[in-house]
Structure 1
Amino acid sequence: MVSWFKHLSVCLVAALVLSACSPSEADQRKAFIAFLQTDVLSRQGARVPRPDAEKQKPFGEYAAHYAVITRFHDRMDASVAKPMQQAMANAMPRSIEEVVARKADIVTVRAGFTGMLEALNQSVAVADSERAALKQPDDLASVYAAAYDKLVTQPATTFREIFPPTDEAFGAVLALAELIERNRGEIKLRGSQVEVANAALRAKVQDAMAAMSSKQRAMTEAQQKLRRVLYGG
């Protein structure tokens, strides 16, 4: 009886020591809220801080709540941001000659935009579903909602806005390429210069080039808006 009581006492003391050493849920929540306010909401742009495991220890179970946001960005970077960057760097022609010579590449890249948009929508849907399953007290829920809007909703919304003008810009490039191909015997290309003797055809080419420039400007403005959302300024 005495040994059993001593064993119970030791266990109770050990439990008390462990309890004293482990942060409470309230402390974990406080640490996580402070992180969101200081490292996310107070900074410009939608940059995603990546605290290591040691720095996330004070968050306790709430580290998993932040992982919802980081997983979204990992998916978006892999399936949307990087492919879009590569497409813009490699596919957009730099001269009128490239408009015609690289027509097939441009068609392929343009077709890929649909897959990128679908991937973005799927990434948002997964993040929204994961967020809906989180259990958060009211004080954390309001701060987390603001952080989620800044790091998930706003970037995704702005990325979606890029696709229409980008598709239209590539469409205008292809329209010019097709016009030149149909009238190849009457059009001479010299780098960035286009020589057309027929006045009516020359007007069509000029209109196509103007449309291409206008669509490219709209695409550039959408890209600049995305950079402001992501990086501030």
Structure 2
Amino acid sequence: MSFSQRALMWALGGVLALGIAGCSAEPKERAAFIAFLQTRIVDKAGVHVPRLTPEEEKSFGDYSKHFAVITDYNKSMDAKVQQPLRDMMGKNMPNTMADLMERRADVVALHKASAQLRAVIDTEQAAAGTKRAALKQPDDLKPVYDKAYARTVSEPGNNFKEFLVVMEDMLTSAEKMADFLNAHKDQVKFSGITAQINDQKVLDDANVLMKELSAKNAEVAQAQRKLASMISGR
């Protein structure tokens, strides 16, 4: 064998050795990532999206990009949905019939904002789903990742949308009540938190609307408790 042939064989041997060494890291990276998903997300009650340390990110290799699908979604949700939702819920809803009649525009604005937030969640879930579908995952990783994805992406998003739908139903009832009060403002007298109506037909109709609004308020409270329980795991 000539010198050039020996050099070529040595070079190829080096490339093959490097290739083997590079491939051997993948099983360890995958095992570390699976253990992380299982212990830090799947096995824990509630919603947990840990922030990777530099050491963890390095230990997962390319699988850290798989986790980025989850973290990117949650960052977007916090900025585009959760913070606006907190701001929206922080606004004082009308708490008397007089307030409701005077502030119907605020109720309509809340209704519109809620519908917009649901559309944002749909968009963010779709974007995360597209990224997830492009991931190439071994058979042992996929079921664990699917559970972690459901816990941190699908379920929170769906529960947020469910809560918003229930709240929009309540706001629809509030708008109906406001319209009714405005239509009969000459027959309604307000005293503190109560409204006095002397006309029996108007009173009966008002009581029907009030019963509906009270029921919708109770549904919102129940949906809010369900959402909080999902997030905290309690």
Q: Give the TM-score category using the shorter length.
A: 0.7 to 0.9
Determine helix, strand or coil for the equivalent of 1:189: strand
After superposition, the C-alpha distances for 1:28-51 in whole angstroms (9 at most, x for unaligned) are 101101100110011101221112
Q: Does 1:217 align with 2:218?
A: yes
Of 65-74 and 179-188, deviating more is 179-188
C-alpha displacement of 1:163 = 2.7
Distance across 2 between alignment mates of 1:99 and 1:144: 47
Match of 1:76 in 2: 77
Match of 1:95 in 2: 96
TM-score (norm 1): 0.88
The CA RMSD over aligned residues, in Å, is: 2.8
Distance across 2 between alignment mates of 1:41 and 1:103: 44
Of 21-30 and 183-192, deviating more is 21-30
Match of 1:104 in 2: 105
C-alpha displacement of 1:95 = 2.4
Of 157-166 and 142-151, deviating more is 157-166
C-alpha displacement of 1:214 = 0.5
Match of 2:45 in 1: 44
Match of 1:86 in 2: 87
Q: Is the 8 A contact 1:44 1:231 kept in 2?
A: yes
Distance across 2 between alignment mates of 1:89 and 1:135: 42
Amino acid at match of 1:41: V
C-alpha displacement of 1:96 = 2.2
C-alpha displacement of 1:165 = 1.5
Q: Is the 8 A contact 1:76 1:123 kept in 2?
A: yes
Match of 1:195 in 2: 196
Q: How does 1:170-209 map to 2 (within 5 A)?
A: 170-209=171-210
After superposition, the C-alpha distances for 1:103-129 in whole angstroms (9 at most, x for unaligned) are 111111111222111111111111111
Determine helix, strand or coil for the equivalent of 2:141: helix
Of 133-142 and 220-229, deviating more is 220-229
Q: Is the 8 A contact 1:31 1:58 kept in 2?
A: yes
Report % sequence identity.
Answer: 30
C-alpha displacement of 1:190 = 2.4
Distance across 2 between alignment mates of 1:148 and 1:68: 9
Distance across 2 between alignment mates of 1:171 and 1:125: 28
Aligned residues: 233
Determine helix, strand or coil for the equivalent of 1:24: helix
C-alpha displacement of 1:94 = 2.3
Q: Is the 8 A contact 1:76 1:120 kept in 2?
A: yes
Amino acid at match of 2:207: Q
Match of 1:132 in 2: 133
Distance across 2 between alignment mates of 1:151 and 1:75: 13
Q: Is the 8 A contact 2:40 2:48 kept in 1?
A: no
C-alpha displacement of 1:228 = 1.6
Distance across 1 between alignment mates of 2:198 and 2:169: 29
Q: Is the 8 A contact 2:187 2:197 kept in 1?
A: yes
Amino acid at match of 1:56: E
Q: How does 1:2-17 map to 2 (within 5 A)?
A: none
TM-score (norm 2): 0.87
| Structure 2 unaligned residues grouped into runs of 5+ | none
